[in-house]
Chain A
Amino acid sequence: QAKYKERGTVLAEDQLAQMSKQLDMFKTNLEEFASKHKQEIRKNPAFRVQFQDMCATIGVDPLASGKGFWSEMLGVGDFYYELGVQIIEVCLALKHRNGGLITLEELHQQVLKGRGKFAQDVSQDDLLRAIKKLKVLGNGFGIIPVGGTYLIQSVPAELNMDHTVVLQLAEKKGFVTVSEIKSSLKWETERAKQVLEHLLKEGMAWLDEQAPEEPQYWLPALFTELYSQEITPEEAKEAIP
């Protein structure tokens, strides 16, 4: 049996040993880098973006594990994982208001409020990266591009291309009507109604039947007036199981 430990495996063993050595060296390089530039990463969001992009290009995910070198030595892990917790809390607290859809702007504002005055500032890019990591928990977190920004989904509701496109249409005014959908997207009435009904059922849209010409479907996620409204104590309790 031992005879069949072929040359291939011996080579793999050698390479493993080599990798182990190189890993130690890399760790030292990273430590050096951290001692010089750790603060830069902490304080400079543009540098953070550059760092993340370069990692992605070479096929490395610095946020994959809290046990990774990047996280341990540069402290990037804790920053994003904690942000993940804060994002989850805000989304849970506001879910009953907006059905689980929230603009990146509002999320950003609420997270900043929650973090308090003495915490480190976070950028929208930081939020997006944290959210991308949260998806793996099976909670339905998703990022939907609308207008020049994004809607963040935080519930496991199915939103397909049709839903997304209607959300994008609604972004301009905060609401949308069946006629608008038909004229902009060239859909049949039935298709437009199906999409709108789905959004209503999920609590992501509210129906205003009193509107002058025809019923309007409003998206609470897009109501700017709600933005600066504080999270109430009842809502905060929802957020912490």
Chain B
Amino acid sequence: LLHCGSIPSQIMKWNGWGYSDSRFLFNKKGQAEFTGKRYRLSGMIIPGLKDWFEGTFGANLQHKTPPTPLLTNTAVPPATLNEAFVEEVKSTGIPFSHDAEDRVFRAHGHCLHEIFALREGKIGRVPDMVVWPSCHNDVVKIVQLACKHNVCLMPYGGGTSVSSALECPPEETRSIVSLDTSQMNRILWIDEKNLTAHVEAGIVGQDLERLLNESGYCTGHEPDSMEFSSLGGWVATRASGMKKNIYGNIEDLVVHIKMVTPQGVIEKSCQGPRMSTGPDIHHFIMGSEGTLGVVTEVTMKIRPMPEYQKYGSVVFPNFEQGVACLREVAKQRCAPASIRLMDNEQFKFGHALKPQVSSIFTSFLDGLKKFYITKFKGFDPNHLCVATLLFEGNREKVLQHEKQVYDIAAKFGGLAAGEDNGQRGYMLTFVIAYLRDLGMDYYVIGESFETSVPWDRVLDICRNVKARIIRECKDKGVQFPPLSTCRVTQTYDAGACVYFYFAFNYRGLSDPVHVYEQVEHAAREEILANGGSLSHHHGVGKLRKEWMRDTISNVGMGMLKSVKDYVDPNNIFGNRNLL
């Protein structure tokens, strides 16, 4: 039997987020706990979650919506195989499968509608076959055969897409082959003189960091999905990492890319750090979302591991002050590795996720802090918001940097609120996707989406999009007030990245996913009308295609189309993303 990548698919959920052993549940006492051993929160009781969950959504632990437990093979449409292609692949010795489970696993990303359908046991068009190339040359062979036999190839990395990018186009009549890059997961070399590493594109984030750490290095690229998402996927979607303030986004990290296309292999001839050789061909590859070819190998910048890391947090009296502080930090170009600002709703949410405190002393301290902030400093608990910080570097510089940032924060009424709150904020990033699965057990569905926006628009877009979500839910007949919250997750010289979280209790709705999609659509319209971008780092996929033309103009569309037409005239890479 095959081994599917460094993370065998058996240890992953087939109809939810992440590892099978890690999930939130309400135990017999009605207390929330997080199972497994992988995370800081694992094995802990979270006493505040139940009340927050019931209070925020009007949900009830008696009203359950459990998922269909097992995948039934009969629900999966039979594979349409291109026999000649299969024969030739077989002769190359590259592993492949048309097992139903393997195909279903690679037929989706993590959009709400995709997971919702899986939980209900509904399976649409899925790939007819999965191949596992183990190196660049395997990919070259597969692409050649696909061209020869006219089969449709869909590259698959970590499967963490939230743009419907992995959905098989239902109108596709050819055999669809999912090209799983998970076996291409080696670091081929590390160049300590130039601080670069040459890596196969199928490697997932946590493995890349772990392996580099063994040699004392890191890339510093940490998207929220880094446990599961792959290097090739980052390149194909123009990913962004939490610590981009130090290390840069994927476009800043990449030195060299090798991609296999139906026209052949595209790559540059050298690894010069910057070139003036016409438009950068890397920028045709980055963000191409699997429509042009398969990224097989990437040379990336690496850095020595930081000697010191410190979390931190600041409480602001309100969101406006918090945004003003982030803007000032960006202006002075002194942003820590990460700085994020949560709004009041998210602050409360974070608060509800506090694990059971171990000692009376801690709870006493918490009480004291709360008293100091709300009573002594006069912060309104319904308006205050919190920024989480992560500093990295050598100890002395970190402490100096920390002081600088806290001084700026103080000018905007910000109060330092401890390392612990900061660290919990970042941990939340990794478990929030698990929380969605818990919600879905109890009639609550939700999703997050992001945008980037100029500084002067940040407050307006946050207010308007949140209000639009609430208004649309009401108009669409949602019976309970939704959770509509946001946070500023990245700062730039000229603007910020804003994340929206949105969830509601769908009891009483006949087609909750449709309602959900309508609301998300309206929210995206609102984002665009308020000067926000179509996407900061999630990509376009098929979910946001309809807005591409308005986003990049007719000529822009024509440019991209003509590249596609040249590189892939027969639409072998037929996932139909982007254009």
A binds B: no
Spell out B's residues near A (CB within 8 Å): none
Spell out A's residues near B (CB within 8 Å): none
